[in-house]
Amino acid sequence: MAEIPDKFDAIVIGAGPAGSASAYYLATKGFKVLVLERGRSPGSKNVFGGRVYVAPLKEIFPDFEKSAPIHRWVTRERMSFMHGNELVSLDYEGNDHKSFTTYLSQLAAWMALKAESAGASIVSDITVTGLLKEGDKVIGIKAGNESVKADVVIDAEGVNRLVLESTGLVQALKPSQVALGVKEVVKVNPEVLANEFGLGEGEGMAWSLMGDVTSGLPGGGFIYTNKDSVSIGLVMLLDSAISGANDEVYKYVERLKTHPKLSKYFKDSRIMEYSAHLIPEDVSSLMPPRLAYDGLLISGDAAGFLLNLGYTYRGVDFAAYSGYLAGKAIEQAHGLGGMSAANLLVYTKLLDQSFIMKNLKRFSGTHKLMRNRRLFTAYPAMMASLMRHIYSLDYESQKMFNTVLGSAKENGMGPFTLLTDGIEVMRYL
């Protein structure tokens, strides 16, 4: 029987995508790793929309496509603007395997199992309550009145940063920094996926919705097709949801499901799961002042690594890849002689060179766009009236340019507003 070590090489807080990626990498390199998970099992506390981009995961797990729980490859992207009973959609069909749908509970469980098979110890049902410190140096974790020591701790605790808050490294979350995601997974008849969604075997759809989805509140909706179910939900900026929502949030999802143009996709569906989660939104303000300290690295949602572009969300791949880089950084710091802040600084460098920071910097202003209410109200309405003018006619056809301006005017926007909003969108997206 193996002995319980007095001290681990690394302790990972949280067995989500970030934590398990770290644990997997370090375990394969021979580090003695302990992962502590608050939920009953890895993945039980994770929530996402429904789609994951595959490239980063393939880099972390070489056999990813062969054995990961992939439900459907996204072969069809749809973006819809909703206004009343009208729906304006843009469809893109490709067939390259860039992203897939799954249940995050399954994916996270798979990743944890990979880490465990590589030699990491994963302990569920244990909540880490704080960091064990010696001066400024982190030397382990605390769980209630128990503690475990390690050379380095990776904080991958997720968006609810109770450990980092208790240590004073970050402030408590403010509603303006996060969005609220609510989601239902519903079982649907296989014929619905084939006939209504038009999907073949293994093909999937990612569908983003803007406009009347959130009753004019900044946010949007999403629909993803899984193997034999559909995920549907919405994301709202938390502060505006608090001040502006006049119903329980689950009712917004129900309303979406029963929308006259969407209800056919959810005919005879049965709710399998309801979940809600906070989502990092204002990333630059959420990011801890540093990501590497003496004996401590921060990754995943806890570091604020999430990209919301309105038409797509990326969190799982960012989290996993940041965890993977944390593992690499620890390996390098080990080579340099220890887990000092100076040696661990390589983590920041690796992040800066990666798609994570490049993307986050490139889209650093996107959350400001979310504050432009016209994007959620007037523009979807304008799109709808534009299409109505073009297509819904009895005798006379309209000239396109006049129709655009006319539709804008109908929705209270003159040419100047169109121009400045256009520039803003170009700038941030």
Partner 1 sequence: MMGLNIVLLFKYVPNTNTVNVDPNTGTLVREGVPSVVNPHDLDAAEFALELREKYGGKITAMIMAPPNATKGIEFLLGMGVDDGVLITDRAYGGADTLATSYVLAAGIKTLEHYDLIITGQETLDSSTAHIGAQLASWLKIPYVYYVTEASLDNGALVVNRQLESCTEKYKVKLPALITVLMHSHPPRPITLENKLRAVIKKPVMMLTNNELKLNIQCTGLRGSPTVVAKTEFVSKIPRKKEIIKDKSPQEAAAWLISKLKDEGFLN
Strand, helix or coil at 273? strand
**Considering the rule CB under 8 A, would residue 4 count as an interface residue with partner 1?**
yes
> Looking at the DSSP assignment, which residues form a beta bridge with residue 58?
none
Q: Which residue, 128, 131, 253, 122, is CA-closest to 184?
A: 253
**Considering the rule CB under 8 A, would residue 298 count as an interface residue with partner 1?**
no
**Considering the rule CB under 8 A, would residue 6 count as an interface residue with partner 1?**
no
Between 123 and 423, CB nearer to partner 1: 123
CB of 26 vs partner 1, minimal distance in Å? 16
Looking only at residues 84 through 143 of this chain, which bind partner 1 when binding is defined by CB under 8 A?
A: 121-126, 143
Q: Dump strand ranges (E) for 168-248.
A: 178-187, 203-211, 219-225, 229-237
Between 129 and 417, CB nearer to partner 1: 129
CB of 40 vs partner 1, minimal distance in Å? 7
DSSP 344: H
Name residue 399's amino acid. K
Paired tokens of 214: 């959130």
**Considering the rule CB under 8 A, would residue 2 count as an interface residue with partner 1?**
yes
Binding mask 174-213 for partner 1 (x = CB under 8 A): ----------------------------------------
CB of 273 vs partner 1, minimal distance in Å? 8
- Total number of residues that touch partner 1 (CB under 8 A): 19
Query: Interior CA angle at 117 toward 129 and 67, to 5°?
Result: 110
Residue of the chain from 6, 63, 96, 146 that contacts partner 1 (CB under 8 A): 146
**Considering the rule CB under 8 A, would residue 271 count as an interface residue with partner 1?**
no
Q: How many Å separate Cα 183 from the centre of its chain?
A: 13
Q: Dump strand ranges (E) for 84-144.
A: 86-93, 99-101, 121-123, 130-134, 137-143
Residue of the chain from 34, 60, 79, 154 that contacts partner 1 (CB under 8 A): 34
Do the Cβ atoms of 319 and 12 come closer than 8 Å? no
**Considering the rule CB under 8 A, would residue 408 count as an interface residue with partner 1?**
no
Residue 53 to residues 73, 257, 319, 383: CA-CA distances in angstroms? 10, 26, 12, 29
**Considering the rule CB under 8 A, would residue 426 count as an interface residue with partner 1?**
no
Between 59 and 268, CB nearer to partner 1: 268
**Considering the rule CB under 8 A, would residue 316 count as an interface residue with partner 1?**
no
Stretch that binds partner 1, among 36-44, 282-290, 364-372, 373-381 (CB under 8 A): 36-44
Between 4 and 172, CB nearer to partner 1: 4
**Considering the rule CB under 8 A, would residue 3 count as an interface residue with partner 1?**
yes
Q: Computed from CA positions of residues 291, 296, 298, 302, in that sequence, does the dihedral angle turn out positive or negative? A: negative
Name residue 258's amino acid. T
Q: What are phi and psi of 354, to 5 degrees?
A: -90, 170
CB of 159 vs partner 1, minimal distance in Å? 23
CB of 194 vs partner 1, minimal distance in Å? 21
Between 189 and 332, CB nearer to partner 1: 189
DSSP 345: T
CB of 1 vs partner 1, minimal distance in Å? 5
**Considering the rule CB under 8 A, would residue 40 count as an interface residue with partner 1?**
yes
316-336 vs 355-362: helix crossing angle, rounded to 10: 130
* Residue bearing tokens 């995050």: 104
Q: Are strands 229-237 and 219-225 parallel, antiparallel or unpaired?
A: antiparallel
Cα separation, 217 vs 102, whole angstroms: 28
Contacts to partner 1 by CB under 8 A: 1-4, 34, 36, 40-41, 121-126, 143-144, 146, 148, 272
